Chain A
Amino acid sequence: MSGIINQVGARSGTISVGDYPVSTGTVTLSGTTGLDYEEGSWTPTGDVDFDQATGYYTKIGRLVTLSFAILWGSDTDGSGAQIKSLPFTAAGTNSRGGGFLSYSSDGTASSLYMGSTTTVYVKASAGAGAVTNTDLQTRDLMGVITYITA
C-alpha cells in the first residue's frame, strides 16, 4: 500500500496490484490500477439535533465501512429516526447497504438500513416499523454501516 499523502495525518493511497502473503498462501490483487484507500471522519446528523455525534470511515475501492457514536437529542419528534450526512453517496437502489447497532441504550432499536442513497433509517429489526426520534430521545447509539459508493 502506498503511504500517507498530502498533509501529515491525512491517510489515503492505493493498494497496488500484486501478491499479498496470508497465512495459507498469497492473495493476488489483479487489474490495472489497484484499489484506492482512504480513511477519515464524518459527522452524523438527523432530523433532530444530536447532542453528540462522531463517526469514522474507511473506503477501499467502492466499499465503504462507517462507524459512529450518537447521543440522540431531546427533541420530541414522531417521525422515523434517520442518520444522515454520510461521507459518500451510495450506489443505486440495487447496491444499498445497511448495518447494525453494536450498542443502544434504547431497548428496541437494533437494525440500520439505507432508505435512500444518502440516508440510513433506524429500525427495531429488519422489516419492522420505524423507530421514531422520540423513541431515541437522549439515547446512546453506536453502530456500523457498510455500503457500495456511487
Chain B
Amino acid sequence: MELDKIEVVTDYKHLQIREITDSGGYHRRVLTSDMDVSGETQTIQRGTDENGDPIMKTVKEIAEELWTDEVKTAWTTFQAEQEAEMNPE
C-alpha cells in the first residue's frame, strides 16, 4: 500500500494514517504512542526547506518527533483511567 496522508489528532498525538491500496481504495489505521513503529519506513512530505524543496520523513521519524516522554506518559495515564472507568470489576 502507498502512504497517502497522515493526520495528527488529540493531545496524545495519534497518527491517523491513510494508505492507498493496490486496487485504488483507501485503507486506514491509527498509530498510538505505545506502539512499535520501527517498521514504519514509508515516507511522506512534511513541509519544505528554505529552498522550497520538500522535506521527506518516514512515519517512524514523525512518531519519534511527536511522541515525547510527556505524550507517552499522558497516553498511558489516560488509557488506565479509561480502563478503570469502563471495567471497574
Contacts and interface: CB of A to CB of B under 8 A. Distances in A.
A121 to B, nearest CB: 7
Interface of A: 6-12, 38-43, 57, 80, 85-89, 93, 113, 115-118, 121, 129-130, 149-150
B22 to A, nearest CB: 10
B9 A150 contact: yes
Per DSSP, are chain A's interface residues mostly helix, strand or loop, or mixed?
Answer: loop
Per DSSP, are chain B's interface residues mostly helix, strand or loop, or mixed?
Answer: mixed
B26 to A, nearest CB: 3
Question: For chain B, which range describes its interface: under 10, 10 to 19, 20 to 34, or 35 or more residues?
Answer: 20 to 34
B86 A88 contact: no
B24 to A, nearest CB: 3
A40 B9 contact: no
Interface string B1-35: 00010000110001010101101111111101000
A116 B10 contact: no
B71 to A, nearest CB: 14
B85 to A, nearest CB: 7
The residue in A43, A80, A121, A150 that gathers the most chain B C-beta atoms within 10 A of its C-beta is A150
Given A43-B27, A88-B28, 6 more contacts: A6-B4, A40-B18, A40-B25, A89-B9, A117-B10, A130-B87
Contacts of A113: 86
A115 B83 contact: yes
B86 A89 contact: no
Contacts of B29: 42-43, 85, 87
Contact of B24 (A9, A57, A89, A117): A9
Interface in B46-72: none
B20 A117 contact: no
B78 to A, nearest CB: 8
A38 B26 contact: yes
B44 to A, nearest CB: 14
A90 to B, nearest CB: 9
B89 interface: yes
B83 A116 contact: yes
10 contacts: A7-B24, A9-B25, A42-B27, A87-B28, A88-B30, A89-B30, A113-B86, A115-B82, A149-B9, A150-B9
- Sorted nearest first, the 5 A-B pairs with minimum C-beta distance are A9-B24, A40-B26, A87-B28, A116-B82, A115-B86
